[in-house]
Amino acid sequence: MVPVARKNLLADKIRLVVSIGGVTFAVILILVVRSLYQGYYREIGAFVDALPVDVWVTQTDSGGLVYSSTVPIDTGTRLSQIPGVARTVAMDRQRLRLEFDGSPVDVIAMAFDLPQSAGSQLGLELPGPGEITIDAATAKKADIHAGDVIDVRGLSFRVSRITSAANLGLSGLAIVSWSDADVLTGIPGYVSSWLVTLVPGTDSSAVIAAIDQNVSGLQAFSRKEYADANRSQVSGTFLPIITVLFTVSFLVGSAVVGITIYTSVTERLREFGVLKAIGASTRTLYRVVLQQSVIVCTVGFAVGVPATYVINRTARSLVPEFITLMRWQDSLLAFGIVLGMAFVASMLPIRRIAGIDPAEVFRG
Amino acid sequence: MTEEAQIEEQAIVEASKLSRIYGSGTTLVAAVTNVNLSVFRGEILLVMGPSGSGKTTLLSLIGGLLRPTSGTIRFGGHDLTSMSESERARLRRDNIGFVFQDFNLLSALTARENVEVALNLAGITGKRAVVRAELLLDQLGLSERAGFIPAKLSGGEKQRVAIARALANDPLLILADEPTANLDSYHGLAVVHRLAEIAQDEQRTVIIVSHDERLKEIATRVMWMEDGQLSESGPPTKRLAADAAGGYVTYRPRHVDHHEPTHPTNKV
């Protein structure tokens, strides 16, 4: 079969490169936005996912980690009495603006009611009194190194280590010792949350139901539910923006391919007429046009995917909070969008072809 | 008369009271008016006439590219006017070869691919199409030029490629619109010879519209068209002027041999 579509495209290489570039740009835009969304979505729940805690207990309707939550400290005793609960650890947290080298550093600062040496119970290396741990992305962004001194509400804290623990997506993460927890909430007799570990084999949903029933003012979440509660912040904030960006990318890509294919068809209208005259069905001509669009879009996609990887890596090295996750499902989604572009871009040229009068080829 | 002979008697093209009107009201133009015409197998019909006389419209009607305003046109016994667009496209693909004044080759394709495209449309693909296209180009002396795009070919070469494309699907009818108009006299005569051979050797019907007087030499019938009306204009010249110096062979056209054992409508 003579590759008429490919030959038509290759006849004007500059136009072909421009149109492939347009699709590549659209694919990059789609994938970068999507991978950024996925990166943040994963990251914002990763801290909760990573902690070996079965049930998170917070003040009712306080949402995820970024929302304030105050729970009376005596509720810990009542929680420990619920059957199936093996251990409870109090957690304090507060959204804070630290100061380093005269510049503000926004974090969610946390403290856990555990001795420094027992941090491994939560999979963490806890700082000692007067020390603070900062997540790597925040440290890189603010140029903070271990040993530096940071001002926290007028008190000086020495950075004990830079942790590779996930940051919280929309905010940095800092950890101080329990003895310094007052610097966070500063409300005596209250903590932010309880982290509950269950006796192995215990059904977490039964414990959650028992907490909700027996301890008023508290809300219990399984680890997954709490991670999702955090992630809903990302989906709630980003999804409308992403939808707009997807639509813009789709329209830009479709327009670029559409203009290219339309120009290519218009220039060859007479040739399409000749094909019609010598017996090509209208469907055959539509196929040629659609093939042209699909070729441009597929090549644009094939260039766009690796280009996105490179852009994501480069951007992450320059901007630490540029947290991305490329998944094959997103590439598949982008390919589906690209095929949609090819289809949309073919509509106008196809309408033009449908109107060709084959008798025109006899007129010089 | 035997059935075979009856079939042989049947015209390949048969037009009856054929008219085509363009526009309406004050802009109404009757391009073809009340044309009756029968063209038989092996005939070379030359339609001459001044510009704007309706020759090209007549060719478009015969080729199923245009629908008549009134009258009927039959190809191999089948009424073109009652066919759908896709049926007429299939008929053109399988039975009619077109040769255009401006060659009308696909600019992005090589000579061979231009011929192959016509074969592909008829469902012949792959090596079969390549071999057939190369054979046709070879017969037209273009085997060395098969890999060139039209922009790299001379006018004569382009027209020979167009003829090869027209012959690709072994059509019963060749329609040629001013096939020599854009060629110099040498290449024009070469094309004239080739069209004559196509009609004589392969018993195809060729209808040519042209201003080129040289084409009278190969025509079995010449008709005159003026103001949309077609008329017989006397007997055709029986011989192509032999020009030994120019290296052209003498061609003695032949009227339809009704005893040729071929079915004229076997592809329709």
Q: Does B104 touch chain A (CB under 8 A)?
A: yes
Q: Does A354 touch chain B (CB under 8 A)?
A: no
Residue A243's pLDDT is what? Answer: 81
Residue B8's pLDDT is what? Answer: 53
Residue B165's pLDDT is what? Answer: 94
Q: Minimal CA–CA distance to A250: which of A350, A349, A334, A351?
A: A334
Residue A94's pLDDT is what? Answer: 87
How far is the C-alpha of A174 from the C-alpha of A110, rounded, in Å?
6
For A279, the closest of B93, B107, B108 (CB atoms) is B93
Neighbours of A298 (CB within 10 A): 16
* pLDDT by position in tens, chain A (length 364): 889 999 988 888 998 898 899 889 889 988 998 898 888 888 888 888 888 899 999 998 887 887 888 899 889 889 999 999 999 999 998 888 899 988 999 998 999 998 888 888 888 889 999 999 999 888 988 999 999 999 988 889 999 999 877 666 667 889 999 988 887 766 788 899 999 999 999 999 999 999 988 888 889 999 999 998 888 877 777 778 878 887 888 888 888 888 878 887 888 888 899 999 999 988 899 999 899 889 999 999 999 999 999 999 999 888 877 889 999 999 998 899 888 888 888 888 888 888 888 888 777 5
Q: Are B211 and B181 in contact (CB under 8 A)?
A: yes
How far is the C-alpha of B117 from the C-alpha of A289, rounded, in Å?
15
How far is the C-alpha of B107 from the C-alpha of B150, rounded, in Å?
6
Residue of A nearest to B116 (CA): A2
Residue B2's Cβ-side half-sphere holds a number of Cα atoms within 13 Å equal to 8
How far is the C-alpha of A48 from the C-alpha of A58, rounded, in Å?
13
Task: Give the A window 135-194 contacts with B, CB below 8 Å.
Answer: none
Residue A36's pLDDT is what? Answer: 86
Neighbours of B106 (CB within 10 A): 23
Query: Chain B closest CA to A346's CA: distance in Å?
Result: 20
Q: Does B125 touch chain A (CB under 8 A)?
A: yes
For B92, the closest of A278, A357, A363 (CB atoms) is A278
Q: Does B55 touch chain A (CB under 8 A)?
A: no
How far is the C-alpha of B3 from the C-alpha of A69, rounded, in Å?
101
Residue B265's pLDDT is what? Answer: 37
* A-to-B residue pairs, Cβ atoms closer than 8 angstroms: 89
Contact list, B59 vs chain A (CB under 8 Å): 362
pLDDT higher than threshold 80 for residue B211: yes
Q: Does A359 touch chain B (CB under 8 A)?
A: yes
Both tokens of B165, joined, read: 């494309």
Report pLDDT digits (tens) over A119-164: 888 888 899 999 999 998 889 889 999 999 999 888 899 999 998 7
How far is the C-alpha of A57 from the C-alpha of A64, rounded, in Å?
11
Best of A4, A16, A362, A363 to disrupt the B interface by mutation (most B CBs within 10 Å)? A362
Contact list, B113 vs chain A (CB under 8 Å): 2, 7
Query: pTM here?
Result: 0.76
Contacts of A46 (CB under 8 A, 6+ apart): A166, A227
Residue of B nearest to A5 (CA): B108
Residues B246-257, mean pLDDT to the nearest whole number? 34
For A278, the closest of B93, B113, B116 (CB atoms) is B93
Best of A278, A288, A291 to disrupt the B interface by mutation (most B CBs within 10 Å)? A278
Token match 């795009």: residue? B149
Residue A364's pLDDT is what? Answer: 59
Q: How confident is the model at residue B250 (pLDDT cuts 50, 70, 90)?
A: very low
Q: Does B242 touch chain A (CB under 8 A)?
A: no
